[in-house]
Chain A
Amino acid sequence: MERPLTKNIHLNRPPLDAKEYEMAGGYLAVKKALLKMAPVDVIELIKESNLKGRGGAGFNTGMKWSFVPMGEKAPSTKYLVANADEMEPGTFKDRLLLEGNPHQLLEGMIVAAYAIQANTGYVFLRFAYKEAAKRILQAIKEAYEAGFLGENILGSGFTFHLHLHTGVGRYMCGEETALLNALEGKRATPRAKPPFPQVSGLFGKPTIVNNVETLCNIPHIINNGADWFKSLSHSEDGGTKLYGVSGNVNAPGCWELPMGISMRELIEEYAGGMKEGYKFRGVLPGGASTDFLTELHLDIKMDFKSVSMAGSRLGTGTMIVLDDRTCPVGFVHNLEQFFAHESCGWCTPCREGLPWVEKILWSIEQGKGSLTDLDLLEEQARLLGPGNTFCALAPGAAEPLQSALKYFREDFEQHIHQHKCPYD
């Protein structure tokens, strides 16, 4: 099984430095793309590979790049941003790439920037990733020294400067347009789309924001081609995927596996199955803002389409397992508390709706709820759905809520009837 993203990651030693990375075949893609390919060829190749964004939404990356204005009439300043904010609860995949092989990200960014002809790039890194910050800074320094960053890279005439920006908290910063506001030194409230960042992004200039994992795939596609990339996968979405499992399983962790591996394989084999004394009850397949799936769904393929057919989303591909000794109401309450707290306060449904939901859940959890509360929760989950709010935060928050009400309704009712949490 090929693991292009993680093959050079060895957790028991520091990441490869620029030299070691080059010796392991690194920066070949930079040489190939910048010296032998036209920007549009790079975009076409990525499009063809069917690489889908790994930040959660799963949009074709090459397609996204192709919306950036090119040519003489295009603005001369453009930006590329790596979204390394990874704050979705239960998600810990980008950390592996950032800490394990920062040069791979840099290489992906250089090629991506070349494809859209951006001369400045940022890594937007969350505050908590202290080790990653050090390693990225070191890698940037080395890449400048090796001539992969800076003016006229490898004599190609292409210039790319890269900066690290570390955040100061707030989950909203991961939303790509809020991220741009944060980078501009503003409150991280989201922006309206359209206009999309591809035409009016950072400082009003065309900008591409890509997830770290998305960008780390780029060098490998350049080196090995679209067909190779597609062949890595078990499904129609190209490539491998970093999958993670957390919760009461025997071996929680994060692995690079073919896109479309089954959920059962992930939980039972890679994560070693449930811990002794714990039974599987459900799972959030792709981070906190995805719908619960249950035992019924264990055999689905973990790719964008299959997970959504099952009623959830692949999201970040990092799952959180709910076991039979953990209270689902408390579980959902914890999630909604997070979302309510992380709402930026810009649009009404999210700002006012989520705290209401959180309060109702808490009163149910404490045995003070009533059955009408469940209808109210269901209604709120519907009202907070996609399109109704300004950005995807609240719809994300609605997903675990609505599915918990569907799959674990009994638990809610027990709280209400027993006037206490049955798991206490």
Chain B
Amino acid sequence: MATLYIDNRPYDVKEGKNLLETCLTLGFDLPYFCWHPAMGSVGACRQCAIKIFKDENDTAGRLVMSCMEPVGKETRISLDHPDAEKFRKSVIEWLMTNHPHDCAVCDEGGSCHLQDMTVMTGHNYRRFEFPKRTYVNQYLGPLINHEMNRCIQCYRCVRFYKDYAGGKDLDVYAAHNHVYFGREKDGILESEFSGNLAEICPTGVFTDKTLKQHYSRKWDFTFAPSVCQHCSLGCNIIAGERYGELRQITSRYNGDVNGYFICDRGRFGYEAANSVDRIYQPALKEENVSLNQEYIINDIAALLSTSNCVGIGSPRASLESNFALQQLVGNGNYYSGWSDEEHRLNKAALNILQNRTAEIVSLKQIEQYDSILILGEDLTNTAPMAALTVRQAVRKKPVENAQQNINLATWHDAALREYIQQRHSDLFILHPHSTKLDEIATQVSYSTPHEIAAKGFTIAAAIDATADQVIDQIATSLLNAQKPLIITGTSLFNEPLLAAAEAIVKALKKRGKQPGIFITQADCNSMGLAMMNVPPLSSAFSKLSDSTLIILETDLYRNLSTEKADEIMNLPKRIIVFDHIKSTTSEKADIKVPVGMFSEADGTIVNNEGRAQRFFQVFVPKNEWLKESWRWLSLLKALKDGKAIDENLSISNIQSTLVEALPQFRGIEDAALSEDFRLNGQKVPRAPHRYSGRTAMLSNENVSEPKPPQDIDSPMSFTMEGYRGIPPSSVTPFFWSPGWNSVQSINKFQIEIGGPLHDGNPGVRLVNSNSSITPIDFEQKTEKISLKEFEWQLVPVYHIFGSEELSAKAPAIAELTPKPYLGLNQYSLAKLNLQENDMATIEHHGRAYQLPVRLRAEINNEVALILFGLPQTAFFVKPVIIKIRPASNGITNNNSKHE
């Protein structure tokens, strides 16, 4: 601890942090631009100037940049000193010499850090009398808009995009007051994290282009804390609504999960909620008519009480919805919706966490590990934010060295990069094909999934002291690390990979290490579904004939081969689908019931590390059908059981039944404050207090203002009325604080800058690692695959845009989705007498499919890559052995050039 005197008042503070962070932590308003809590200090903008004094007797002091000055044992500073105030005001004046006066039409207006800082420093009179500098803007793709005239040259964009996120195509050009931030030429930004620019940029240079299509001011939004639904990591997000439409997703700080950022799939995938594929009306297949609510509900209820019912749950539906279905159909009639492979994979993932051999690592904790082995995951495309944290992790060791060797503080960003140069901690990647993280890897190798698993077991054996001494670079590095981490996942559909990962952590444990494990899965609630401990689809077969099958928020055709899915769909007498989006499954259902998507619903999902997180309804849609699935299913259950319908059934009601029936979920009630929580007797408003137009916005329908919807599931209101102040973290709908309209107001919500939120980061870890358990020996499991002539192993390739079902429906994401292809190496192409872009004919289950060929020089001879999850490649849902027809016999494939 140290004492910091600020304008002569003493404060107890931590040593070693910088003065800016410390002042902000203490609650002072000190303006800044180039500093960012996640990216540290570079001292460029000079906005955070303060006075520092040598001792009590020093009255003159020295002007310093608070972001560049460490807190000493006893430091004396002044924020109010006239010299400092004058200088800070001048910095804004300088920045304003070239900044346009376009706040009124600027996308950033009202949530602009520059606006806030201008007001804070008191600069309001313009003395610069010359023409302003102007720039040409660039086209940066469908996600981000560029308006360079607003730039204040804080360099945060390049520091984030290039230094932090490893982007290659955004940089700073030219010099003096002509510096320009953009791409070398117009074109789509390549980084998967480009959307963060909209939050990183303190003004309106980089803004969310999708928001522009249906723009609203920050103060006019209704917000809710939510959780991203587009992969298994569960990044925290803020969802914003206006005029009954989901219009914006921004990141919601969570110090344990995503920190300050989210990926572009998470930010821009939201428009699935507004897509043409939404199911808005219930429909009966035969009659193909829309029906009224009462009729449908009674019809379904009647069906359920007469026939045997089977339910299929979903890894992308909430725990509550899955549980409500299980309750409705009865325990023995409820299945997961997973294929056997997926079932085993996800169980294996859960088992590894439950076996407690390794520390379960949260997304953000990845950054603390200093030797990382990735076994068969292309993180950038399957769990994008994990790729971002791995990029930070590889700086771990060099940063520590810099601290030890030359006493460099961890926040001293530019100096650290200059000192560290190209050094990084160890990262090893074993994957079938090249990945974006390869560039920061110590070693990469490309092979078939089962070879990767075999290599994993070799590493485990090398680590295991009882095994023969094997010289293996990876084993040595993991053993020498302070904190070794194994990352793997389910995306290659290869169970031995998980077993190998477990074998390695067990071996490390045996050698006295504290290894970490991080396993990614396919969907936002895959872990939750695995924890429900229900059988896979195949077990349902015997019960399906003549049954009434209820399918919850899932497309069987994504989980099963077309043949298998067709088989299932043909067995039941009636199929009822509850979903919010059209899919092959929903279109084949007899009855289709629309439900609310995450923005219209409350629920809990469990992310890949076993953390239960709550998402909240952002708005109540006018369409009364759009209720949570769990609400529909509970209602049906009441009808079926002949019980009275509980109009006031809230999420906590269902949660308490849930944890009673399934005690493994005990704790989910604490993932968020319950609906009866009040602050000073008030609810927490979802809308900012400056929310405008409420009385006018529906006046075309009714001049008397309607009663605002009531929220029975949360302690938040749907209006701007309610508690003013900082709400508890789990029910913080948006970040705002007096004088801090921009997202930078997050500083006010943290206990300490970059640390946990005021009452802890939201979310509850349901599976906990217990390191005291003694390790057991591992078992080697590998499969051997042998191929016949003209056979290849089909391995899925994922793409951040397109491979995930929901986000792929967002137009901007669809624009970025790659064309489907089949990837083969030179040897395979030669063998097949094919060239790039030729059409290859794939034989599988007696059918033939055509796909254009792309050369993937790095892959193994036995491997064929297929872009996963696109409608055109949906016929392959897991790695299989395929036959490819060589081109020489018969028709030449050349005339069917793709594109």
Contacts and interface: CB of A to CB of B under 8 A. Distances in A.
B179 A383 contact: no
Interface size class of B (residues with CB under 8 A): 35 or more
Interface size class of A (residues with CB under 8 A): 35 or more
B87 A352 contact: no
Contact of B408 (A191, A195, A342, A387): A195
B506 interface: no
B687 to A, nearest CB: 36
B176 to A, nearest CB: 4
A345 B34 CA distance: 13
Nearest to A376: B127
B389 to A, nearest CB: 24
Interface in B400-429: 406, 408, 412, 414-415, 418-421
Contacts of B152: 348
Interface string B493-512: 00000000000000000000
B44 A346 contact: yes
Given A195-B415, A345-B177, A351 B91 contact: no
B125 to A, nearest CB: 12
Interface in A345-394: 345-349, 351-356, 359, 363, 376, 383, 387-390
Interface in A239-256: none
B94 interface: yes
B63 interface: yes
Interface stretch (B45-53, B556-564, B617-625, B631-639): B45-53
Nearest to A186: B418
Interface stretch (A10-18, A28-36, A198-206): A198-206
A351 B62 contact: no
Contacts of B656: none
B767 interface: no
Contacts of A353: 94
Interface in A173-223: 181, 187, 191-192, 194-195, 199-200, 203-204
A424 B14 CA distance: 62
Contacts, number: 101
Given A192-B68, A376-B127, A355 B45 contact: no
B44 A348 contact: yes
Nearest to B423: A204
Contact of A192 (B175, B176, B412): B412
B179 A390 contact: no
A359 B49 CA distance: 26
A390 B172 CA distance: 18
B43 interface: yes
Contacts of B25: none
Interface string B173-186: 01111110000000
B448 interface: no
Given A192-B68, A356-B94, A388-B46, A344 B415 contact: no
A157 B7 CA distance: 58
B421 A204 contact: yes
A341 interface: yes
**Residue from A203, A345, A359 whose CB has the most chain B CB atoms within 10 Å:** A345
Contacts of A200: 406, 408, 415, 418-419
Interface string B51-73: 00000000000111000100000
Interface string B155-185: 1000000000000000010111111000000
B175 A388 contact: no
B98 interface: yes
Contact of A348 (B46, B64, B174): B46
Interface string A25-45: 000000000000000000000
A57 to B, nearest CB: 18
B45 A348 contact: yes
Contact of B415 (A191, A347, A348): A191
Interface string A142-180: 000000000000000000000000000010100000000
B790 interface: no
A116 to B, nearest CB: 16
A340 interface: yes
A351 B49 contact: no
B418 A204 contact: yes
B97 interface: yes
A342 B87 CA distance: 23
B893 interface: no
Given A204-B419, A390-B46, A343 B176 contact: yes
Nearest to B99: A352
B295 interface: no
B153 interface: yes
Contacts of B95: 348, 352
A383 B97 CA distance: 15
A407 B866 CA distance: 77
B319 interface: no
Contacts of B408: 195, 200
B176 A341 contact: yes
B414 A192 contact: yes
A348 B178 contact: no
B44 A347 contact: yes
Interface string B79-91: 0000000010011
Contact of A347 (B43, B63, B130, B178): B43
A356 B46 contact: no
Contacts of B415: 191-192, 194-195, 200
Interface in B3-53: 42-47, 49
A184 to B, nearest CB: 8
B410 to A, nearest CB: 14
A352 B98 contact: yes
Interface string A264-299: 000000000000000000000000000000000000
A83 B408 CA distance: 26
Interface string B531-551: 000000000000000000000
A348 B406 contact: no
Given A192-B414, A195-B406, A351 B421 contact: no
A353 B98 CA distance: 11
Contacts of B419: 195, 200, 204
A345 B97 contact: no
A351 B406 contact: no
Contacts of A359: 130
B827 interface: no
Contacts of A346: 44, 155
B135 interface: no
B849 interface: no
B677 interface: no
Contacts of A343: 175-177
B513 to A, nearest CB: 28
Contacts of B91: 348-349
A176 B236 CA distance: 45
A187 B173 CA distance: 9
A390 B62 contact: no
A355 B153 CA distance: 15
Interface in B616-657: none
A351 B179 contact: yes
A387 B64 contact: yes
Given A191-B415, A203-B421, A388 B176 contact: no
A401 to B, nearest CB: 16
Interface string A381-424: 00100011110000000000000000000000000000000000
A135 to B, nearest CB: 30
B421 A345 contact: no
B62 A345 contact: no
Query: Which 6 residue pairs across A and B have the least CB separation, nearest first?
Result: A352-B94, A345-B179, A343-B176, A204-B419, A200-B419, A204-B421
Given A348-B152, A353-B94, A376-B127, 15 more contacts: A192-B68, A195-B415, A200-B415, A203-B421, A345-B174, A346-B44, A348-B47, A348-B153, A349-B46, A351-B153, A351-B176, A351-B177, A363-B130, A387-B64, A388-B87
12 contacts: A191-B418, A341-B176, A345-B177, A348-B44, A348-B91, A351-B153, A352-B94, A352-B98, A353-B94, A383-B90, A388-B46, A390-B44
